[in-house]
């Protein structure tokens, strides 16, 4: 566990015993989340994401493994025996962990203000006035001051999620777990909610664990990412590391979807200029990050090697302040020049993938 870890999971196992079947939902997962992280956990449905994050606040007891939140053990396995935090100690630890869900989970018979008040309604250290001020402040923070007397049924999906966020923040958590919180929202509303989460992370220093099946959401706000498959974390690291150098095919698939490369590639490959590609021309993909950028790359191919690059697809993202780009190009020129150019481009740290044609 690193010193800054706010959440540390060690060797977490979750098994469900169903009638005749044992479901091994989480398999030996270890993960450290640092204070201030927005940690994205990506995976397809059934990968075990929800089960894993519910372990963090013990909504799901791990079958075995250690869960430390702020260095407090919520679950601990020693000598093959797992013990769990209980009673008021567990309640206090849970106050530090807010949670939001895909379907908002609001109380429909209560107003927006009463929904937000609910977690602190029985708090004896705050006066009624302080509680009301707190609710008003939280509604202002999520941009809903003017809807405090509305009922959930009178709100849009995005507004409902804002109420849920305000409610999750009422007990001053240090951690917010977002379980597919944008999955039921349209793209524009999704962006607005992600922007709100990012601003809460910056303003309040809130640590956010974001689980989703959409790499796009992770790409927009996370600084770290873990990819889950079949109960295991198959790959994790900084957003930039994962995006620029994914190791596992599933991670590559998620990234290609998020950067629209998959779509771009399909369209490019259907074009006559590609279907009729003649040797020695080749179709290649350049992927680059940081200081290398697309324009000088293309012009140097011409200037230094006499190669004409026809750009068929391009995408540049700014990830954690670093430009990350993908270009799909047809290179035309002398076969030897193409080979030398590609070799030198690789030396400069650009990833080159040959998509069609042969290097002869």
Ligand X SMILES: Nc1ncnc2c1ncn2[C@@H]1O[C@H](COP(=O)(O)OP(=O)(O)OP(=O)(O)O)[C@@H](O)[C@H]1O
CB 181 within 8 A of CB 161: yes
Out of 12, 25, 42, 328, the only residue in the binding site for ligand X (CB under 6 A) is 25
For ligand X, the closer of residues 43 and 264 by Cβ is: 43
Burial of 126 (0-12, 13-18, 19+ CB in 10 A): middle
Both tokens of residue 166? 């305000």
For ligand X, the closer of residues 25 and 274 by Cβ is: 25
For ligand X, the closer of residues 12 and 331 by Cβ is: 12
**DSSP class of residue 155?**
S
51 counts as binding ligand X under rule CB under 6 A: yes
Both tokens of residue 188? 């524009």
Reduced DSSP (H G I as helix, E B as strand, rest coil) percent helix, strand, coil of the chain, to 5: 40, 30, 30
For ligand X, the closer of residues 25 and 163 by Cβ is: 25
Give the Cα separation of 260 and 89 in Å (integer). 46
Out of 47, 139, 209, 312, the only residue in the binding site for ligand X (CB under 6 A) is 47
Stretch that binds ligand X, among 15-23, 30-38, 234-242, 318-326 (CB under 6 A): 15-23
CB 9 within 8 A of CB 39: no
209 counts as binding ligand X under rule CB under 6 A: no
Least separation, in Å, of the C-beta of 209 and ligand X?
13
Site map for ligand X, 155-194, x if CB under 6 A?
-------------------------x--------------
Q: What are phi and psi of 46, to 5 degrees?
A: 90, 0
50 counts as binding ligand X under rule CB under 6 A: yes
For ligand X, the closer of residues 41 and 163 by Cβ is: 41
CB 294 within 8 A of CB 343: no
77 counts as binding ligand X under rule CB under 6 A: no
Out of 1, 23, 121, 311, the only residue in the binding site for ligand X (CB under 6 A) is 23
Beta bridge partners of 181: none
Q: Give the count of residues interacting with ligand X (CB under 6 A).
A: 13
Residue 290 backbone class (left: φ over 0; alpha: ψ -120 to 50; beta: rest): left
Least separation, in Å, of the C-beta of 25 and ligand X?
3
Positions in the binding site for ligand X (CB under 6 A): 16, 18, 23, 25, 43, 45-51, 180
């Amino acid at each position: 566990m690193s010193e800054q870890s706010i959440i540390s999971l060690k060797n977490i196992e979750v098994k469900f015993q169903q009638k005749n079947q044992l479901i091994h939902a989480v398999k030996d997962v270890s993960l450290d989340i640092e204070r201030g992280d927005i940690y994205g956990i990506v995976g397809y449905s059934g990968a075990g994401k929800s089960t894993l994050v519910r372990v963090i606040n013990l909504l799901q007891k791990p079958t075995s493994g250690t869960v430390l939140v702020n260095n407090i053990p919520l679950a601990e396995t020693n000598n093959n025996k797992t013990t769990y935090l209980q009673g008021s100690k567990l309640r206090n630890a849970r106050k530090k962990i807010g949670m939001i869900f895909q379907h908002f989970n609001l109380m429909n018979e209560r107003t927006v203000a009463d929904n937000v008040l609910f977690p602190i309604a029985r708090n004896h250290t705050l006066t009624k006035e302080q509680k009301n001020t707190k609710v008003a402040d939280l509604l202002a923070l999520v941009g809903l001051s003017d809807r405090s007397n509305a009922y959930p049924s009178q709100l849009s999906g995005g507004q409902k999620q804002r109420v849920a966020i305000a409610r999750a923040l009422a007990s001053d958590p240090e951690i917010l777990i977002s379980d597919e919180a944008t999955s039921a929202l349209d793209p524009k509303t999704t962006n607005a909610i992600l922007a709100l989460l990012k601003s809460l992370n910056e303003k309040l220093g809130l640590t956010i664990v974001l689980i989703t099946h959409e790499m796009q959401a992770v790409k927009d706000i996370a600084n770290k990412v873990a990819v889950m498959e079949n109960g295991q974390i198959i790959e994790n690291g900084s957003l930039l590391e994962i995006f620029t150098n994914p190791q596992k095919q599933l991670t590559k698939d998620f990234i290609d979807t998020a950067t629209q490369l998959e779509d771009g590639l399909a369209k490019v490959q259907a074009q006559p200029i590609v279907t009729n590609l003649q040797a020695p021309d080749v179709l290649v993909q350049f992927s680059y990050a940081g200081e290398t950028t697309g324009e000088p790359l293309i012009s140097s191919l011409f200037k230094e090697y006499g190669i004409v690059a026809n750009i068929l697809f391009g995408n540049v993202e700014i990830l954690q302040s670093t430009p990350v780009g993908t270009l799909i190009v047809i290179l035309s020129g002398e076969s030897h020049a193409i080979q030398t150019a590609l070799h030198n481009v690789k030396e400069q740290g650009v990833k080159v993938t040959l998509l069609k044609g042969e290097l002869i």
